Homo-oligomer: A and B are copies of this chain.
């Protein structure tokens, strides 16, 4: 039996992914009891500002408030490689390694016939259009190793065959630092299949 405004605040947070009723309550009380009015205002402002200014990069389809996005616009990036991922969070994960210097292409999903997601529902056309200028020499397919992600990678690799670009798939295997005994069967099979010559 909270006041209506508190209920509304809790319900707002409850609608976000991964936040249940208890967490939404805790967050609401944190905002009301511990946050300064300025910080609360700033947070509300950042939601509106981001929602209004963020759109998709014309080139790579990543979320951005400038177009081209910082990555596509960076002069030092290797424009001959495009890494194709399902979502913006995958770009962030790969960028955090600081080991990849090429460009990206964000599909915003994966093919999923069961959910009615076909090739026209994700940004595959936009990828094909990028190949027109002949700058890209390699397309790395880094969709997730799920049924849908794999299907998407296979579909795109077939589409790209006539373009004469190198199409690669990220490797799957035992994650570094984990035990083989705890790996699932499919990962072990993949790791054996993709074994590499050492000497």
Contacts and interface: CB of A to CB of B under 8 A. Distances in A.
A161 B87 CA distance: 63
Interface in A3-57: 3-6, 8-9, 12, 15-19, 23, 25-33, 35, 37, 39-54
The range of chain A's interface size is 35 or more
Contacts of A65: 3-6
Given A18-B26, A28-B50, A12 B42 contact: yes
Interface string A133-148: 0000000000000000
Given A25-B92, A89-B26, A47 B9 contact: yes
Contacts of A52: 37
Nearest to A48: B44
A45 B41 CA distance: 9
A165 interface: no
Interface in A164-193: none
B5 A32 contact: no
Given A51-B32, A108-B33, A3 B64 contact: yes
A80 interface: no
Contacts of A125: none
Contacts of A71: 1
A9 B45 CA distance: 9
Complex A-B, nearest 10 residue pairs according to Cβ-Cβ distance, in ascending order: A44-B44, A40-B51, A44-B47, A12-B43, A9-B50, A3-B65, A1-B95, A5-B50, A8-B46, A44-B48
